[in-house]
Amino acid sequence: MVRPWRMGQGHPSISSLLFFSLVMVGPVGRVAGRARLLAGVRSWQNRHVTYNFSSGPAALPAELVNRIQEELPDWHGTGMPVMTLSHRGPDFVALMEQDIMQGGGMGQFAAVPLNLTLPGDEVATVVTGRWGLTAAEEAERLGLTVRRVADQAADRYTSVPAEGSWTVPTSARYLYYVPNETIGGVEFPYQPVSPVPLVADASSQILSQPMDLAAHGVVFAGTQKNLGVAGAVVVIVERELLGRARPGCPSILDYTRGAKAGSMLNTPTTFAVYVLDLMLDWVAGQGGVEAMRTRSLERAGLVYSLIDASGFYANPVDPSARSTKNIPFTLADPALDPVFLAESEQAGLAFLGGHRSVGGMRASLYNAMPLAGAQALVDFMRDFERRHG
Ligand code: PMP
């Protein structure tokens, strides 16, 4: 039996927030390097961090952090922290029925091919950045011919191909794209259409704006940006695409097996599930994805306006494809980068360094970032330019 995404009493699901109801399953978790984590904690422990601009793990809404703190010792009268409850016990199963998922984002780069193709098949992709490239490489490792029907390499991944400018061969098993490329800060301004199932890596876009789930065969998103904390991935699969996993697909990556097991083929990342549940409630309580979109545009508008009005800061992305979630920017003099980072940290603006592969700066503005956070960033940038420009 395939279990659809089921909602608990009064609890929203991602599908309901996005207005469609499909099937959700989720494989495989990833564990962050403990040493790296501890190093990060040490370097931040004595600072007063006001706003977190990390691309993920990303900020949580302040009220959620308070709520987690309050109910940590005693989740819903059980007398126990939620992540210590048995995942088979009735209390936790109730939570999973509201938020069916587990796993990690990069696993989907393999899970998608393993569930939708056989070795030797052809798939299509539109590459607008690093995450799309990495997914294409993984598909190739799994024996697929990946047809790059559009690839923005010539623009150094600072643009999105014009709508309708590519052709997808109908022999392709699916068309893959990344609605929002987190590293390059490139976002599709339109919804691609496809004659074959459309697969979206919505890791850094989900719930920041409405999304037409019905146009997609598979949508997946890691939870560490707009859905809470790291450790899980939400996967939405069109029912018709189930039952196609290739022979030898590991059970934990098999959408159909995962769905049949209620996303509990193995021990789920219970804390991430719990926080996801809180995040969905929070988004719904804030007015849903339309409200998230309005705020997202406001936040990003503040930062882009400052960049565009300045001769000191620059954003390399084609204005029509600029991301409202991740804003990379450079300073006129790269020698000032470390100064900018040090001063912004002192000012309580955390994690503004660009991805290690591209350098420069990047401000990630997900749902949990208040407008005041974007304003604080803009105020700091203006002041920095005045002093160093
Ligand atoms: N896709 C996108 C668009 C991402 O931004 C990321 C991570 N930032 C990933 C995939 C990889 O996700 P994970 O780290 O959960 O494997």
Q: Is 348 a member of any domain?
A: yes
pLDDT (mean) for 206-213: 94
Domain boundary among 287, 314, 332: 287
10 and 103 both lie in a single domain: yes
Active site residue 44: no
pLDDT at 111: 94
Domain boundary among 287, 322, 348: 287
pLDDT at 356: 83
Which atom belonging to ligand 1 lies closest to the Cα atom of 104?
A: 15
pLDDT at 18: 62
Question: Is residue 131 within 6 Å of ligand 1 at its C-beta?
Answer: yes
Give the chain's domain count: 2
Mean pLDDT taken over the chain: 87
309 and 238 both lie in a single domain: no
User: Ligand 1 centre and the CA of 317: distance in Å?
Assistant: 20
Active site residue 201: yes
Question: Is residue 182 within 6 Å of ligand 1 at its C-beta?
Answer: yes
41 and 91 both lie in a single domain: yes
pLDDT digits (tens, 9 = 90+) for 342-358: 999 999 999 999 988 88
Q: Is 56 a member of any domain?
A: no
**Range with the lowest mean pLDDT among 83-97, 125-139, 170-184, 341-355?**
83-97
310 and 277 both lie in a single domain: no
Domain boundary among 266, 287, 308: 287
Which atom belonging to ligand 1 lies closest to the Cα atom of 230?
A: 15
Answer with the residue of higher pLDDT: 181 or 10: 181
pTM score, two decimals? 0.89
Q: Domain of 104: which CATH number? A: 3.40.640.10
Q: Is 174 a member of any domain?
A: yes
Q: Is 55 a member of any domain?
A: no
175 and 277 both lie in a single domain: yes
295 and 272 both lie in a single domain: no
User: Ligand 1 centre and the CA of 384: distance in Å?
Assistant: 31
61 preceded by a cis bond (ω within 30 of 0): no
Per DSSP, the residues of 303-332 read: HHHHHHH-SSEE--S-GGGB-SSEEEEEES
List Cβ neighbours of 275 (8 Å cut-off, separation of 6 or more). Answer: 60, 64, 68, 223, 228, 229
User: Ligand 1 centre and the CA of 25: distance in Å?
Assistant: 17
280 and 308 both lie in a single domain: no
User: Ligand 1 centre and the CA of 131: distance in Å?
Assistant: 7
Question: Is residue 104 within 6 Å of ligand 1 at its C-beta?
Answer: yes
275 and 375 both lie in a single domain: no
Which atom belonging to ligand 1 lies closest to the Cα atom of 233?
A: 15
Residues 141 and 306: their CA atoms lie apart, in Å, by 43
358 and 275 both lie in a single domain: no
User: Ligand 1 centre and the CA of 235: distance in Å?
Assistant: 13
- 82: tokens are 């939620």
Q: Is 191 a member of any domain?
A: yes
Question: Is residue 110 within 6 Å of ligand 1 at its C-beta?
Answer: no
Q: Domain of 374: which CATH number? A: 3.90.1150.10
Active site residue 5: no
pLDDT (mean) for 205-232: 93
User: Ligand 1 centre and the CA of 105: distance in Å?
Assistant: 5
pLDDT digits (tens, 9 = 90+) for 134-173: 999 999 999 999 999 999 999 999 999 999 999 999 999 9
209 and 299 both lie in a single domain: no
Tallying the residues shown for the chain, one arrives at 389
Question: Which structural domain range is residue 376 located in?
Answer: 288-388
What is the distance, to the nearest Å, from the Cα of residue 120 to the centroid of all Cα atoms in its chain?
Answer: 30
Residues 258 and 251: their CA atoms lie apart, in Å, by 8
Q: Is 305 a member of any domain?
A: yes
Question: Is residue 204 within 6 Å of ligand 1 at its C-beta?
Answer: yes
> Per-residue pLDDT for 13 more than 60?
yes
**Range with the lowest mean pLDDT among 37-41, 104-108, 188-192, 304-308?**
37-41
318 and 214 both lie in a single domain: no
Task: Output the CA torsion 177→355→228→3 (10° steps).
Answer: 30
Q: Is 57 a member of any domain?
A: no
Catalytic-labelled residue, pool 5, 121, 225, 325: 225
Q: Is 181 a member of any domain?
A: yes
Backbone torsion region of residue 244, taken as left when φ is above 0, otherwise alpha when ψ lies between -120 and 50, otherwise beta: alpha
pLDDT digits (tens, 9 = 90+) for 225-284: 999 999 889 898 999 999 999 999 999 899 998 888 888 888 888 899 899 989 999 999
Question: Is residue 203 within 6 Å of ligand 1 at its C-beta?
Answer: yes
313 and 280 both lie in a single domain: no
pLDDT digits (tens, 9 = 90+) for 40-52: 444 545 556 689 9
pLDDT at 49: 64
